């Protein structure tokens, strides 16, 4: 029996001797690699914190003590040590363990995460609540150097240092976000402040002080007395101590003995503490150590070689098509700027960054800043294209409203991962953007039916002098040819794709493809439908929709967005505004809930946003004996 197999809770871990812990770390790594190779997941980040997870659980007393893993993508070892070993093979599978931390999954997950940089704020909230309740739990948060580029982390530090509550922040510094970490802070944290550098610096600085006439020797003696001030002066400690934190480190995050000793010491302090640990992303699995960017978030792979199992598809992803179009269009348009929030790979902008380094900006995990930064560039005549996943753009809502839309600035939002994302689940689904964007004055909101239309929408956006957004799905595109000549689409114009008098299907984005499949199936069952690719959620093609609904009053709308405030709602409002009331409509979209993780296809089927759902709904709508619709239909 392995050591890991004996651990059903952290109490079992504590029974192991310190000597056995490195073997346990190896066992954990083996299981993590094995399961991620089958289910996909955040491998490199999780491998990097195995010793840290062991040490934290060895020293602290969870779930009484509260442990928060920022983002939660690196929490696999924590899951294995906290009673989830048996279910670990279900990681990221439908109805299996979530790929991030969830309060609802385990009492050991003190806070739910998925979006970055929240751990210090939530940890501080818990620490304050504990104090009010007169309970003595320790709160330990682990945050990566990438996540430290998010502004909310500093808002948390600022308050924590001020109110001086007992909070332990562990900075997991592996010098990488998903790819190279960016920004002034990352160079500040950089390894140039290594022990050797520190010693050399101390020596030289000491000599320098001593050489100062009169006062030099006194200052030197003072500095020597307060030995740590040297360290604080030249290490990141300076920054964190300015925030009111006691700084420790940097220490080797893979040295279990060292980690446990220092955590044992820190445990007894009653003040805000920052422990800076240095780790290696991908640690212990050579392919991930060699290529941590590739293994940050990975699909299924072969353990022996690290090669991906999925064959490369000849059809590109929407992300790739967007990235290629950016490179192509920027050739003749110097106004085009690309902005990413720490996701050049995920948003397809690597080629753009290489081709136009001066016009490419990675702002760090700082969506709010990225949007306002783009707004600033737009005031100077540039056309910034802000490429952010739908779910992360939620962060920047006020910036979109206040800094972009209020003055109608021409910022373009290229919103990737709109709709169901699959295995990353509830925190990552892009199901709200239609609703949150269409309520903003001056904003245009589009969604392409295929990759050619995606490119046309980028051109449309570049030709438009105001805020404009287009959102596209995760995954392989529709497989149509991208035409050489890129023709912008007239703003607010939909297109009729099929003719038919029985049913009107109004679809947007990816759902158009599903509507066309449904159209074919329905034809075979004797039902003819008009399918409209509406293209715009805002402004809607009100004339087209109004006139069609008058002719074909049985209507289905379909979208990969929540139904509240989404595309279907927009259609209802538009018909109401035109005084059109004589119709019956079913709005297919996501109901009022958060959608769990699972394969995209399964989730689409479960929530009735696929072709089959249209077919079933059509049959219901057209059934003369269906009581629900009879009353409405009687008016036709």
Ligand X SMILES: Cc1ncc(C[n+]2csc(CCOP(=O)(O)OP(=O)(O)O)c2C)c(N)n1
Among 66, 115, 369, 597, which residue sits at the site for ligand X (rule: CB under 6 A)? 115
d(CA 36, CA 99): 10
Angle of the 227-234 helix axis to the 195-211 helix axis, nearest 10: 110
Q: Does position 170 bind ligand X by CB under 6 A?
A: no
Residue 45 makes contact with ligand X by CB under 6 A: yes
Helix-strand-coil percent breakdown of the chain, rounded to 5?
Answer: 45, 15, 40
The residue among 40 and 146 lying less far from ligand X, judged by its C-beta, is: 146
> Given 51, 175, 241, 367, which residue is catalytic?
367
Nearer to ligand X, 301 or 567 (CB): 301
Pick from 191, 204, 205: nearest CA to 249: 191
Tell me, what DSSP letter sits at residue 401? I
Buried b (16+ CB within 10 A) or exposed e, 391-415: bbbbbbbebbbebbbeeebbbbbbb
Q: Using CB under 6 A as the criterion, what x/- string covers residues 352-381 for binding ligand X?
A: -------------x-x--------------
Piece in contact with ligand X (CB under 6 A), picked from 66-74, 222-230, 268-276, 615-623: 66-74
For ligand X, the binding residue among 29, 57, 66, 73 (CB under 6 A) is 73
Size of the site for ligand X (CB under 6 A): 24
179 near ligand X, judged by CB under 6 A: no
Residue 440, token pair as written in the block? 């903003």
Beta bridge pairs of residue 495: 533
Cα dist. 306→283, 289, 607 in Å? 14, 11, 35
**Contact between 189 and ligand X (CB under 6 A)?**
no
Among 28, 50, 60, 74, binds ligand X (CB under 6 A): 74
Stretch that binds ligand X, among 67-75, 324-332, 583-591, 627-635 (CB under 6 A): 67-75
Please tell me whether residue 144 binds ligand X under the rule CB under 6 A.
Answer: yes
Among 102, 138, 231, 281, binds ligand X (CB under 6 A): 281
* Single residue of 82, 121, 177, 557 touching ligand X by CB under 6 A: 177
Distance CA(443)–CA(291), nearest Å, equals 40
Region of 220 please: left (phi>0), alpha (psi -120 to 50) or beta: alpha
Please say if 138 is a catalytic residue: no
Q: Quick one: which segment of 144-152, 161-169, 193-201, 459-467 binds ligand X (CB under 6 A)?
A: 144-152
Of residues 29, 102, 280, 281, which has the active-site annotation?
281
Whole-number Å distance between alpha carbons of 134 and 99: 33
Note if 596 is an active site residue: no
Residue 178 as a binder of ligand X (CB under 6 A): the answer is yes
Window of 80-88, 143-151, 207-215, 563-571 that interacts with ligand X by CB under 6 A: 143-151
Of 51, 65, 109, 145, which one interacts with ligand X (CB under 6 A)? 145
Among 35, 137, 176, 396, binds ligand X (CB under 6 A): 176
Q: Maximum Cα–Cα distance for the chain, whole Å? A: 102
Residue 75 CB, nearest distance to ligand X (Å)? Answer: 11
Check residue 102 for interaction with ligand X (CB under 6 A): no
Q: Beta strands of 279-366 (E only): which ranges?
A: 336-340, 360-362
438 is catalytic: no
Give which of 602, 632, 601, 629 is closest to 617, Cα–Cα. Answer: 629
Q: Which of 75, 82, 112, 147 binds ligand X (CB under 6 A)?
A: 147
Least distance from ligand X to the Cβ atom of residue 337, Å: 20
Considering beta carbons, is residue 149 or 235 the nearer one to ligand X? 149
Question: Would you say 71 and 114 are in contact if contact means Cβ atoms under 8 Å apart?
Answer: yes
From start to end of 27-161, where are the E strands?
A: 66-69, 139-144
Residues pairing with 254 in the sheet: none
Which pair of tokens denotes residue 374?
């783009």
Residues 6+ away with beta carbon under 8 Å from 110:
62, 63, 66, 67, 68, 101, 103, 122, 123, 126, 139
| Gyration radius of the chain over CA positions | 28
Point out which residues bind ligand X (CB under 6 A): 45, 48, 71, 73-74, 115-116, 144-147, 172, 174, 176-178, 281, 341-343, 365, 367, 392, 395
Kindly list the catalytic residues: 281, 367, 395
């Amino acid at each position: 029996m392995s050591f890991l197999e004996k651990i059903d809770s952290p109490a079992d871990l504590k029974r192991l001797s310190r000597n056995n812990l490195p073997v346990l770390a190896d066992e954990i790594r083996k299981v993590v690699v094995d399961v991620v190779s089958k289910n996909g997941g955040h491998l490199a980040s999780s491998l990097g914190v195995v010793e840290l997870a062991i040490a934290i659980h060895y020293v602290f007393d969870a779930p009484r003590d509260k442990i928060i893993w920022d983002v939660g993508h690196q929490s696999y070892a924590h899951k294995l040590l906290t009673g989830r070993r048996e279910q670990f093979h279900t990681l990221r599978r439908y109805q299996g363990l979530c790929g991030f931390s969830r309060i609802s999954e385990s009492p050991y997950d003190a806070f739910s995460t998925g979006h970055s940089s929240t751990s210090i704020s939530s940890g501080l909230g818990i620490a304050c609540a504990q104090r009010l309740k007169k309970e003595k739990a320790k709160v330990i948060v682990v945050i990566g150097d990438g996540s430290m580029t998010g502004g909310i982390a500093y808002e948390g530090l600022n308050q924590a240092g001020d109110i001086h509550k007992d909070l332990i922040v562990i900075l997991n510094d592996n010098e990488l976000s998903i790819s190279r970490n960016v920004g002034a802070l990352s160079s500040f944290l950089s390894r140039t402040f290594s022990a050797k550098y520190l010693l050399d610096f101390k020596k030289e600085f000491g000599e320098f002080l001593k050489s100062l006439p009169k006062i030099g020797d006194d200052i030197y003696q003072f500095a020597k007395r307060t030995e740590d001030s040297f360290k604080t002066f030249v290490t990141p400690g300076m920054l964190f101590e300015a925030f009111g934190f006691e700084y420790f480190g940097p220490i080797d995050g893979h040295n279990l003995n060292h980690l446990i000793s220092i955590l044992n010491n820190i445990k007894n302090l009653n003040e805000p503490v920052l422990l800076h640990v240095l780790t290696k992303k991908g640690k212990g699995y050579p392919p991930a150590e060699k290529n941590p960017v590739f293994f940050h978030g990975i699909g299924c792979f072969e353990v022996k070689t690290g090669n991906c199992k999925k064959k490369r598809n000849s059809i590109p992803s929407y992300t790739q098509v967007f990235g290629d179009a950016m490179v192509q269009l920027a050739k003749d348009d110097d106004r085009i700027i690309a902005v990413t929030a720490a996701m050049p790979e995920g948003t397809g902008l690597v080629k753009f960054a290489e081709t136009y380094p001066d016009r490419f900006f990675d702002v760090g995990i700082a969506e709010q800043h990225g949007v306002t930064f783009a707004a600033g560039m737009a005031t100077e005549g540039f056309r910034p294209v802000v490429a952010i996943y739908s779910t992360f753009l939620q962060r920047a809502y006020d910036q979109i409203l206040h800094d972009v839309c209020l003055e109608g600035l021409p910022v373009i939002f290229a919103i990737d991962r709109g709709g169901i994302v699959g295995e990353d689940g509830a925190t990552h689904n892009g199901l709200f953007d239609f609703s949150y964007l269409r309520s903003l004055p001056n904003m245009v909101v589009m969604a392409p039916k295929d990759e050619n239309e995606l490119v046309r929408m980028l051109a449309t956006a570049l030709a438009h002098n105001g805020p404009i957004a287009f959102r596209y799905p995760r995954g392989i595109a529709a497989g149509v040819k991208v035409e050489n000549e890129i023709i912008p689409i007239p703003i607010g114009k939909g297109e009729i794709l099929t003719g038919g008098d029985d049913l009107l299907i109004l679809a947007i984005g990816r759902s158009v493809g599903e509507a066309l499949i449904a159209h074919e199936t329905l034809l075979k069952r004797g039902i003819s439908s008009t399918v409209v690719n509406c293209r715009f959620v805002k402004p809607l093609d009100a004339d087209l929709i109004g006139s069609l609904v008058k002719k074909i009053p049985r209507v289905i709308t379909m979208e990969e967005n929540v139904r509240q405030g989404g595309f279907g709602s927009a259609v209802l409002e538009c018909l109401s505004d035109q005084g059109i009331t004589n119709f019956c409509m079913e709005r297919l979209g996501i109901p009022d809930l958060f959608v769990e993780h699972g394969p995209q296809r399964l989730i689409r089927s479960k929530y009735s946003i696929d072709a089959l759902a249209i077919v079933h709904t059509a049959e219901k709508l057209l059934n003369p004996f269906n009581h629900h619709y009879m009353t409405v239909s009687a008016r036709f």
